């Protein structure tokens, strides 16, 4: 999960009002419950010390939410009398969450926005392809390519002239497969997709896959369901795409935990993984985190630490924070500070589901895979 969409929050000092809000149903009773919920949220923010302009901004932002456009709800981050960021949720919050704190309350995002992989679906035939980006917020068009339109159909006779024509047909198929692969690679590299799903013509699919660069081919799967023609979608195709996304996610989690287990501190050799708040904080301060590992049930997520104005000004103790160059560090939750740091340095964030909580889960629920190895401290 990439947190680049949190960029607007990184340059503002706070404190922050954070609200995870479920607008409910789009009927009269739903409207009444929504009004009561907004009042209760504003009352909570007031009791926690939020200023009136920021409360008013939150009230206006919540009042204008449409249940039809936000079926699972939204999260609002506000400070200084304005809503700085409003983001659509993928899953309904179990009760509204409202807080007023030094940093934005980020951890609920991990479960409410989800980490299902973004897939780039390529609908292929022998003349071209249409690309569609699939994320939790729904599908969106992501380009298309048209290759040579003739000749694309073989004949059934076997005389010399027809065999020559069939060779031209096969050359067209090969040319179009190469062109589709080139455009698909560009679309993948220009998006935030995690995997590619090839849909359509049973001959052209493998031809396109074979022409993809090795790194792109490694995240590409095929399905026999569906096609490029209008109306060729089906429940089987939707299930195949969803299965591909979930298999990719499980594979990523397994690979990350294997790498974490192999590289964690505890050996005499250089390590590329750390665990626990002190070690992860050190890595965050030095911009060494490649992937932040979070187990939502971990006890260290709400551990107190200290943070300055900049996302890399983090420390376990107040005395250490004083040496970071910020004259007035604030007490914060470890998870919020480390997620803010991950967003600022474009680190990936991987949630470890409770069912994956094996012996190799990071101590306390927080760990990191590093961008480069380092020698463990002698202490």
Token pair belonging to 143: 């380009």
User: What is the rounded CA–CA span in Å between residue 116 and residue 120?
Assistant: 13
C-beta of residue 321 within 8 angstroms of C-beta of residue 329: yes
Query: pLDDT, tens digit, for every residue of 249-304?
Result: 889 888 998 888 888 765 555 578 999 999 999 999 999 999 999 988 889 999 99
366 beta partners = 294
Q: What is the pLDDT of residue 76?
A: 97
Which SS3 state, helix, strand or coil, does residue 247 take?
helix
Query: pLDDT, tens digit, for every residue of 93-108?
Result: 888 899 999 999 998 9
Token pair belonging to 297: 């049930």
C-beta of residue 66 within 8 angstroms of C-beta of residue 23: yes
Q: Considering the chain, what is the average pLDDT of its residues? A: 85
Of 364, 375, 359, 107, nearest in space to 257 by CA:
359
Q: What is the pLDDT of residue 26?
A: 66
Angle of helix 277-285 relative to helix 334-344, nearest 10 degrees, comes to 30
Q: What is the pLDDT of residue 83?
A: 96
Q: What is the pLDDT of residue 268?
A: 56
Query: pLDDT, tens digit, for every residue of 22-44?
Result: 987 767 777 888 899 999 999 99
Residue 313 predicted with pLDDT over 80: yes
Q: What is the pLDDT of residue 356?
A: 58
Q: How far is CA 29 from CA 26, 37, 73, 212, in A?
A: 8, 12, 17, 53
Token pair belonging to 80: 């200084």
Question: Within 10 A of 363 (CB to CB), how many other CB atoms are there?
Answer: 17
User: What is the rounded CA–CA span in Å between residue 314 and residue 174?
Assistant: 55
Tell me the pTM: 0.80
Confidence grade of residue 136 (pLDDT, cut at 50, 70, 90): low
CA 203, 117, 193, 254 dihedral sign is: negative
Element at 315 (helix H, strand E) = strand 314-315
Overall average pLDDT of the 340-349 stretch:
93
Range from 58-67, 78-87, 107-116, 213-222 carrying the lowest mean pLDDT: 107-116
C-beta of residue 259 within 8 angstroms of C-beta of residue 221: no
C-beta of residue 88 within 8 angstroms of C-beta of residue 38: no
C-beta of residue 92 within 8 angstroms of C-beta of residue 22: yes
């Amino acid at each position: 999960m990439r947190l680049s969409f949190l960029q607007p929050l990184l340059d503002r000092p706070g404190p922050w009002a954070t609200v995870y809000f479920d607008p409910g149903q789009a009927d009269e009773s739903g409207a009444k419950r929504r009004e009561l919920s907004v009042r209760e949220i504003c009352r909570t923010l007031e009791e926690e010390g939020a200023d009136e302009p920021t409360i008013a901004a939150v009230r206006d932002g919540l009042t204008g939410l449409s249940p039809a456009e936000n079926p699972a709800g939204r999260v609002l981050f506000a400070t200084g009398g304005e809503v700085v960021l409003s983001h659509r949720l993928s899953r309904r919050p179990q009760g509204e969450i409202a807080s007023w704190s030094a940093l934005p309350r980020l951890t609920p995002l991990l479960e409410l926005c989800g980490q299902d992989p973004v897939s780039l679906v390529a609908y292929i035939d022998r003349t071209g392809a249409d690309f569609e980006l699939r994320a939790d917020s729904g599908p969106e068009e992501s380009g298309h390519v048209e290759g040579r339109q003739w000749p694309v159909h073989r004949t059934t006779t076997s005389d010399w002239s027809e065999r020559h024509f069939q060779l031209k047909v096969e050359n067209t198929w090969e040319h179009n497969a190469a062109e589709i692969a080139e455009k698909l690679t560009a679309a993948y590299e220009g998006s935030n997709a995690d995997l590619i799903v090839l849909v359509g013509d049973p001959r052209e699919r493998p031809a396109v896959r074979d022409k993809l660069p090795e790194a792109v081919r490694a995240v590409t799967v095929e399905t026999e369901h569906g096609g490029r023609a209008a109306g060729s979608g089906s429940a089987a195709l939707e299930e195949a795409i969803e299965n591909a996304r979930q298999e990719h996610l499980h594979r990523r989690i397994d690979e990350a935990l294997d790498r974490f287990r192999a590289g964690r501190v505890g050996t005499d050799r250089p390590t590329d993984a750390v665990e626990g708040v002190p070690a992860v904080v050190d890595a965050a301060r030095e911009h060494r985190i490649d992937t932040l590992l979070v187990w939502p049930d971990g006890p260290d997520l709400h551990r107190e630490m200290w943070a300055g104005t900049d996302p890399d000004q983090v420390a376990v103790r107040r005395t250490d924070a004083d040496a970071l160059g910020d004259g007035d560090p604030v007490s914060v939750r470890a998870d919020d500070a480390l997620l803010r740091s991950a967003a600022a340095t474009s680190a990936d964030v991987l949630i470890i589901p409770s069912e994956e909580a094996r012996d190799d889960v990071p101590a306390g629920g927080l760990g990191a895979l590093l961008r480069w190895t380092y020698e463990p401290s002698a202490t």
